[in-house]
A = this chain, B = another copy of it.
Amino acid sequence: MPKKSTHITKVAHRMAAEDRWRCQGHRGGVLWFTGLSASGKTTLAFELEKRLFDQGMKVYVLDGDNMRFGLSADLGFSPDDRMEHIRRVGEVAALFADAGILVISAFISPYREDRQRARKVAGENFHEIYLSAPVDVCETRDPKGLYAKARRGELSDFTGVSAPYEEPEHCELIVDTGTLSVEESLNVLTTYVAEKFKL
């Protein structure tokens, strides 16, 4: 996107990111969950947040559904709107990471290019985590009845049904949520976080 603002200058914080990390014992960064609807993103994000919080970490979930009530309230589900939505989320995630927070973002984010842009904005400490569950498994779960609606044509541009999902090619972690239980998935994730983020 072209930058429209002129006459602006970057202003630096008076402390380094590392100073924030040292205080709290862990790095800031982004755990970028991606996967189909019903692949477990929201459930795992909020459960993981709770576990890490209980360990004393500074952690916060950015959730697709929640964000759409606020920052992206002006956007729908067309390809252009999805792209802008994910762009904004990526920018917000980067700000949280800069503030030292470990942010867990839980968005379908079906396009590689959008995820790549979010990665670029956040810089190092961006971890793309693919919650890999096949569409037929997700469709069987269908906790919100969205797949059924999409199949009946009541929802357009529905990822996995009437809109594409581009699987990650070089993500940092794959969690096979098609076969692992919530508890098992959480164990994989907490182990990963301890390894990558704790000082």
Contacts and interface: CB of A to CB of B under 8 A. Distances in A.
Interface of A: 1-5, 7-15, 19-20, 23, 42, 46-47, 49-50, 53, 56, 58, 60-66, 68-77, 81, 88, 91-92, 94-96, 98-101, 121, 144, 146, 149, 155
A46 B4 contact: no
How many copies of the polypeptide does the oligomer hold? 2
Nearest to A48: B14
A22 to B, nearest CB: 11
Contact of A10 (B65, B91, B94): B65
Given A5-B73, A5-B77, A14-B46, A56 B146 contact: no
A98 B66 CA distance: 12
A106 to B, nearest CB: 9
A138 to B, nearest CB: 16
Contacts of A10: 65-66, 69
A70 B121 contact: yes
Contact of A94 (B12, B19, B70, B121): B70
Nearest to A62: B95
A50 B19 CA distance: 11
A172 to B, nearest CB: 23
A62 to B, nearest CB: 7
A95 B70 contact: yes
Contacts of A146: 7
A22 B79 CA distance: 42
